[in-house]
Structure 1
């Protein structure tokens, strides 16, 4: 593995760990600052604000990286994250905490720049595997981050922010001294209209080969929000899991995602092709969701975790199909669009699925998983309209 790839994967893992560090303590910090125990509305608003900022600014960072290069945009983003976490570590004001989360959402939009960097230095035949490694390192950071953040939060609610700032400082130093530029900046005059966050979306939707791939990506990302939104509620209500049970399930899931993304995608893609691998991933998760909806024993839910984790192999393959459909000079713009779709799912998914769960939970808590199955059924119909050579440029 080349040095730039090692550095970018280290950047991904550290960035994810820094983001995830503060997840376990945010509700507690909101309670202490707002002076109330009922912070569900505040917490939901904060999550929505973070996702909204990613949605708006991810395409912008992608376009800027196409114009000025990946490295300077990534460095500015990491520097902004470091300063932001320091502000949140010391502020006594609730409004400034919200402003900090908004800035954190903006700087977290650097996913578009990182994925464009990977596309720059990777041959088309290797992209599915390397995007799988991207998911694996990102997942590894998210596995470590909440555990460390929870431990530090028991000492002080502010310590996780300081740890996140330190991690981002290390990340910035690594990128500053070890990461080379991967993309030659464009020499033509810069069109400031390209900073319109909806301009890349309009461009992508006029690119006929991308429309079905982006539609499937949005649907898959939407189903992915069911786990983060209702998993804890579901296993607590139906199986009476303790906090230890829930933490163990999330840790096992994260570890299995890393293994599946790192080692399964290459062999499965060579065996089934990219479209076949995508369909296999959707099929695995669909089976898991159906069983989960009707499961009456906690061990069944735990036994389904490997199947759900393996189902994630479809996402990096889908990314590979999308990048193969676009020329090198537009990879940053494309990755910005893709990341915006993720953010769009992160804005509306929790609102929709938590509403469905709240309405159905007095009678049957499994309805939300059936809704996920229905969304996947629609995704499969779209995938079947995509030719086997989809994503290959003429």
Structure 2
């Protein structure tokens, strides 16, 4: 798995920097609110605008990549991220930051979905190993993001935005030189293809599961800094521990549990454990030490979920992997977009409520996945069998020749 072409490592490095953007703003949410005199719900829009635009734009990524090629799509996405992050750092109001974060989300959408498909298609080894490599990049980026955000945010809340812009410029150069030219797809996809793919009950069920699970995930990510009420550096260290836990379980623990207990059973148990963690945070919200421990514990469950749900999506639907990724990403980032804003609104009235709502959403995700299980009979089958099933059903589901 670790002996990959330079092109794969180039995209993986850029993915690390791209995913830093998710956790980077966590440590500076409260400083931004204090400096710019904003409420938690207003500041949480930094997540909502980012995720909402990213979710909708995911529908466009496959269309763009199939027409101009994955490499050009990746590079365009990186340029947009550089601009969005830099302009957010130059802003003087929350409204301006929210707007530039939306632009940042557009760039991330073009990059992330294309990066996953590029790594899966270019990497040596199985699809599962390629996804683990991608999730390792995700986990490392999410882990380092809060640490960098805390360090730069302790100087100025603008620092993390400028930091991402600079790192993305490096990623742009690395990707431009190390990733070979990639031609457009033989068949250009359309905006309708992801919706056609969701007719497959297995993919639809897994996508709804991801939507609900991400609702709980981003409730924790966006709202917890407010009851913690610590410095940017302290919150950065806590979420660094969360990111490290996520990275370790996504790469080393998830494949072992999957091999021993099966994909669906592992995911259902894991979602129940995530629910229990959010319940503990809802009950003991005033206990900062317990909140910090629960954040790190949540990283364990989130790492396993991210790897296995992503792998399930890549195997669940008999469509091109780029189309499946676009459909799934559109659904899951929908949940991620609503959660931060709603958590901020609810938290202004009662600090316990956001975690209760997040726990209910994750428990509902476990129930949806259990109901979807009959539509995923071959999810743990050898990859050769899955590829054959994909080829047989692709023409019917996507409408390809």
TM-score category (smaller protein): 0.7 to 0.9
Partner of 2:59: 59
Change (3 A) 1:383 1:297: farther
| Deviations 1:70-129, CA, capped at 9 Å, x for gaps | 111001111222233344444568765444222111101121111111221357x83334
Change (3 A) 1:338 1:80: same
* 1:126 equivalent in alignment to 2:126: yes
Q: Could you tell me which of 262, 265, 273 is aligned with 1:273?
A: 262
Task: Find the aligned partners of 2:362 and 2:98 in 1 and give their Cα distance.
Answer: 35
Change (3 A) 1:350 1:385: farther
- Native 8 Å contact 1:61 1:112 kept in 2: yes
Gapped regions of structure 2 (runs ≥ 5): 381-385, 390-401
How far off is 1:258 after superposition?
1.0
Change (3 A) 1:226 1:68: same
| Deviations 1:181-223, CA, capped at 9 Å, x for gaps | 5x652345x57xx2x4xx3442122233422222222222222
Partner of 1:174: 174
Task: Find the aligned partners of 1:366 and 1:166 in 2 and give their Cα distance.
Answer: 35
| Range 267-276 or range 39-48, more displaced | 39-48
| Range 364-373 or range 381-390, more displaced | 364-373
Question: How does 1:141-180 map onto structure 2 within 5 Å?
Answer: 141-180=141-180
Change (3 A) 1:149 1:245: closer
Task: Find the aligned partners of 2:227 and 2:92 in 1 and give their Cα distance.
Answer: 35
Partner of 1:284: 273
Length-normalised TM-score, structure 2: 0.80
- Native 8 Å contact 1:15 1:171 kept in 2: no
- Native 8 Å contact 1:140 1:258 kept in 2: yes
* 1:319 equivalent in alignment to 2:310: yes
Task: Find the aligned partners of 2:60 and 2:305 in 1 and give their Cα distance.
Answer: 26
Length-normalised TM-score, structure 1: 0.81
Partner of 1:211: 204
How far off is 1:151 after superposition?
2.8
Secondary structure of 1:141 counterpart:
helix
Secondary structure of 1:206 counterpart:
coil
Change (3 A) 1:220 1:91: closer
Task: Find the aligned partners of 1:299 and 1:45 in 2 and give their Cα distance.
Answer: 27
Secondary structure of 1:37 counterpart:
coil
Task: Find the aligned partners of 1:111 and 1:360 in 2 and give their Cα distance.
Answer: 35
Partner of 1:185: 184
Q: Could you tell me which of 249, 263, 268 is aligned with 1:260?
A: 249
Counting matched residue pairs gives 377
Change (3 A) 1:283 1:338: same
Change (3 A) 1:281 1:305: same
Gapped regions of structure 1 (runs ≥ 5): none
Change (3 A) 1:234 1:372: farther
* 1:16 equivalent in alignment to 2:31: no
